Amino acid sequence: MNQTVHTLTSPGKQMLSEQVYSHLRDAIMRGDYAPGDALKPQDLAKEQGVSLAVVREALVRVVGEGLADRLPNRGFAVPAFSDRRWQEIAEARRTIEPVVLRMSIERGDVDWEARVRAAHHRLTRTPAHAPEEGEYYSGAWSEAHRVFHRTLLEGCGNPVLLETFDRTWTASELARRWSAHHRPDRDHVGEHRRLEEAALARDADTAAEVLTQHLTQTAAGLTGCTHREPEKET
């Protein structure tokens, strides 16, 4: 009897946890919480009309994505981003992603090539900015950008490495969202085109070099502005 009740209630709890997780993730990425803001389980439970257990489960997932920190004896909080933290994330990406890209180029099949081409086409056809989203990169472009970079690496066939990419990408996107700083002189289109061309030509050396330069420029563009309030940017 108890087992039947558990079977019936677990999916409902899982659905609630997914909803709270999605709400939290979107709110943090939108900038509804400032860097360092506390994420109080009791307040979130009351706001969302769910139990503390559901909220804590969602918070653990957000922490796992690098969108929140679990502080000893202090609960949960949005990361207090600093230039040093961003540079550590950038260093991890520059260390890992070119290696995984080499593996992907070596192991990727024809289906992978087709997905890379399709992801790049989607990226080039998606506007980087939308009037309703102000000076930030549009949500649609950010997603197309993520899909392109992830697709480049998916040929490696290693889910553990791809999970590592997912986590560092999400953390770096949070830094990007907190910064309204853009470099109009930067040729994003050309950089992504060269990445696609080198990958599909199976030129691992060039692809890894282009990706490293791409990630280095991104890090340099965000240094010094990840910790400032976006509305103060000009």
Cα 6 vs. chain centroid, distance in angstroms? Answer: 34
Contact 207, 198 (CB under 8 A): yes
pLDDT of 40: 93
What is the value of pTM for the model shown?
0.77
pLDDT in tens, the chain (234 residues): 444 333 334 666 678 889 999 999 888 887 788 888 999 999 999 999 999 999 999 999 999 888 899 988 778 999 887 778 888 888 999 999 999 999 999 999 999 999 999 999 999 999 988 887 666 678 899 899 999 999 999 999 999 999 999 989 988 888 777 665 556 667 889 999 999 999 999 999 999 999 999 998 877 766 654 444 433 333
pLDDT of 86: 81
Cβ-in-10-Å burial (0-12, 13-18, 19+) of 222 comes to buried
Contact 155, 105 (CB under 8 A): yes
33 membership: H or E segment, kind and range: none
68 DSSP assignment: S
Contact 123, 214 (CB under 8 A): no
pLDDT of 135: 67
